[in-house]
Each structure stands twice: as C-alpha cells, then as structure tokens.
C-alpha cells in the first residue's frame, strides 16, 4: 500500500531535478549568447616598460601558463632594477565557464608542483583602491616559486572559485556580461619577503596601467649586502 505513494514522490522529485537542470542549462545558454563586455584597456597595448621594470615577450611553459579557452593572452618577462625577474601572465576569457578558469593550483599541480603555502593579501593601487589577491608558493624538487594572482570580473575581484557563481548571478539580468580576466605573476622564491615584494610591486604597476593611471615607480633600492 505504501509503495505507490513513495514511487510517486520519487517520480515527482526526479521531475523537479530534471526541471532545475533544464532551467540551469537554458539560463547558461542564454548567458553564453549574451554580449560580452571587454575591459576598457587593450591587452596588446600593455607597455613593455612599467616604472623601472623592463619587459620583453617570453614563451612560458604551456603546461603551467595554460590559456585554453582564452581569447587573448600576454606573457611578459619583467626585469626589476635589482633581483630576479617576474613573469606576468594576463589572459582574457570571453567564453562562459564555471569557477575560475585555469586556477593556479590546477596549472602548477598538473606540472608536478606541490603547494607549500597560501595566504590572502591586499594590494593598494596608486588611486588608493585596495585589491584582494593571493600569494601561493610551490615546490618541485629544488625548484621553488612564488605566485601572486587575482581574477577580475567586471568591477569584482575574485580569488576563490566559490566566488565565481555569485559574481555571475549578479550580472545575470544584464544585457552584457563581463569577460573574465586572469592576472598571474611568478618569480623565484629566493626569500619569502623579497619574492613577495617583487610580486607586489609589479602587480601595483599592472593595476595602475589597467586603471589608466600613470605608474609612479618607487625609488630603486640597493641590493642587500
């Protein structure tokens, strides 16, 4: 006597789940067809010289700096006045995706690196704006790297995959959705403080360029003896 009501409830529940999934796919299809709003800056016009840093185009390990699905990428080796260089990887994603495309943990772990540490930081731009970012260190045998990254989605800055869904829902009813921008900087982990200092300084200069401000370089410091 109880089997029919239970079966009916299961049938209704299955129908609801199918309906939710269909609705989600329809919404995703509509959003994928929506107009994509690109950032105000042009990636191919990013200067090779930022402050006192001199940049040059570079070819990086495609297994780490993967750009699958990115409509535009820019990989630049920046040399500071003193100390090891920093590789800047900037990618623009116009296709709709879930999460944060090609999160550093996926890129580096897929190339044999082990995450050693991770912490959230805040970058202060020349305009006084504070931007959240993350610094992660990776190890692979004798190779130690420090990586700073953030993602931009319109006026939102994202560092966690869990933030992506809320950001996309927030623009769900708009005529256009923003492109996703990934900024990732990598340098040798010679010492934690000095590596993070290089990453922060170059990140500040990149943010200043993106904001349209003229970067104000810090005075060069002599290397420590």
Residues in the chain: 225
Question: Would you state the structure tokens that stand for residue 211, as one six-digit string?
Answer: 């904001």
In a domain, 161, yes or no: yes
Q: What is the pLDDT of residues 130-174, one digit of tens each?
A: 999 999 999 999 899 999 999 999 989 999 988 888 888 877 777
Same domain as 203, residue 106: yes
Same domain as 101, residue 24: no
Same domain as 187, residue 84: yes
In a domain, 62, yes or no: yes
What span, in angstroms and rounded, lies between the C-alpha atoms of 225 and 222?
9
pTM of the predicted protein model: 0.79
Same domain as 29, residue 83: no
Q: What angle (nearest 5°) sits at the alpha carbon of residue 48, between those of residues 194 and 83?
A: 20
What's the confidence (pLDDT) of residue 122?
97
Same domain as 41, residue 28: no
Domain range for 11 is: 3-33
Q: CB–CB of 135/211 below 8 Å?
A: no
What span, in angstroms and rounded, lies between the C-alpha atoms of 186 and 85?
9
Mean pLDDT, rounded, for 168-191: 88
What's the confidence (pLDDT) of residue 165?
83
Q: CB–CB of 49/76 below 8 Å?
A: no
Q: What percent of the chain has pLDDT over 70?
A: 76
Q: Confidence band (pLDDT; 50, 70, 90) for 129?
A: confident
Same domain as 201, residue 113: yes
Total number of domains in the chain? 2
Question: Would you state the structure tokens that stand for residue 200, as one six-digit string?
Answer: 């922060």
What span, in angstroms and rounded, lies between the C-alpha atoms of 101 and 67?
9
Strands (E) across 94-179 are located at: 114-124, 130-140, 143-153, 156-158, 176-178
How many Å is the maximal CA-CA distance in the chain? 86
């Amino acid at each position: 006597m109880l089997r029919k009501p239970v079966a009916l409830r299961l049938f209704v529940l299955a129908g609801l789940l199918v309906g939710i999934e269909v609705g989600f796919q329809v919404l995703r299809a509509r959003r994928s067809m929506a107009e994509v709003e690109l950032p105000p800056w042009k990636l191919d016009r990013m200067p090779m010289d930022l402050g006192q840093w001199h940049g040059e185009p570079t070819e990086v390990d495609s297994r780490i700096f993967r750009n699958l699905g990115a409509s535009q990428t820019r990989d630049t080796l920046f040399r500071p006045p003193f100390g090891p260089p920093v590789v800047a990887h900037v990618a623009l994603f116009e296709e709709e995706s879930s999460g944060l495309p090609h999160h550093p943990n996926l890129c580096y772990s897929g190339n044999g690196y082990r995450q050693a540490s991770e912490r959230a930081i805040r970058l202060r731009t020349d305009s006084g704006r504070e931007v959240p970012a993350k610094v992660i260190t990776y190890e692979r045998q004798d190779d130690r790297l420090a990586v700073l990254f953030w993602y931009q989605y319109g006026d939102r800055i994202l560092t966690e995959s869990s933030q992506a869904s809320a950001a996309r829902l927030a623009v769900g009813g708009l005529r256009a959705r923003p492109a996703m921008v990934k900024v990732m900087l990598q340098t040798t982990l010679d010492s934690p403080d000095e590596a993070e200092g290089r990453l922060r300084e170059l990140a500040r200069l990149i943010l200043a360029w993106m904001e349209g401000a003229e970067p104000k370089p810090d005075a060069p410091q002599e290397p420590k003896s």
